[in-house]
Structure 1
């Protein structure tokens, strides 16, 4: 039987799931379901973003965004307006209610980051951020290579 050579992605996954379980518990009372806060924060940070750009920014598929946006519109967190140059394009804007929620979410993210880095020196924190960013970039490059390979396989098959 093969053995796992490095549990680093399991640790990253466990960190992700722990943080999101806490967020989901706290945000449920704000009418946000599992993981939806990340969509809202990015829209607040990038007012006027297109749905396709939001999907790319969050590294999720377009259908996931297409499911979340109507809920946010109904809940009063977002408004949607047509692009002035290209009327086929819709742009997403946070409402004042979303901006209030954004402040709470960012406060919680900052609190969680402090908890994660408890006992770390400033140098260790900087090193962890730098190394995680490099790991993410490597994984993204691996994903892109896989997607290109899949496209080539589809063309030839």
Structure 2
């Protein structure tokens, strides 16, 4: 039987998520909100639908996270100049400071996770994971839009 690679990826993701949730609890961020904050920082002016797609989560979950981040004054919404129904998302100064701390934790976790791998191995792992991410994202879009997978 082939090794279940997705199980290992899931274990890694859950462990890092649990660590981040514990560490970020003290800085007013609930479960997973740090992902939304950093993506908004990386993509100033992004709209909620694009943010949801970027993170491969549903729009309702994204809307709740945005609402909490806005309530905590970490992000702000600005109206689109042409269409008032469209709201662009930006981090506030408070959000910027928090996002920098989150990025430091991410760099630390990356280095810790990749300990023992040389630069060639790291590049190879990155390339392979990009392929896996592309495959899974394409399937996520398919299912999200009503597609049925045949097992």
TM-score with structure 1 length normalisation? 0.88
Q: Which residue of 2 aligns with 1:38?
A: 35
How many residues in Structure 1 have an aligned counterpart in Structure 2? 148
Higher helix share: 1
Structure 1 residues 100 and 148: alpha-carbon distance in aligned structure 2, compared to 1, 3 A threshold: closer
Match of 1:143 in 2: 140
Q: 2:70 aligns with which of 60, 68, 73?
A: 73
Which structure 2 residue ranges, 5 or more long, are not aligned? none
Shift of 1:5: 3.8
In structure 2, the residue corresponding to 1:150 is in which secondary structure?
A: coil
Give the unaligned 5+ runs of structure 1: 152-157
Flag the 1:144–1:132 CA change in 2: closer, same or farther, 3 A: same
Q: Deviations over 1:91-131 (max 9, x none)?
A: 11110000001110001000000001101110010011111
Equivalence for 2:5: 8
| Higher-RCO chain (CA-CA 8 Å, sequence separation at least 6) | 2
Q: Distance in 2 between matches of 1:74 and 1:10?
A: 36
What is the distance in 1 between the residues matched to 2:104 and 2:86? 32
Mapped to 2, the partners of 1:87 and 1:149 lie a distance apart of 30
For 1:142 and 1:120, locate their aligned partners in 2 and report how far apart those are by CA, in whole Å. 30
| The structure with more radius of gyration | 1
Q: Structure 2 length normalisation: TM-score? A: 0.91
Partner of 1:154 in structure 2? none
Coordinate RMSD, CA, aligned:
1.6
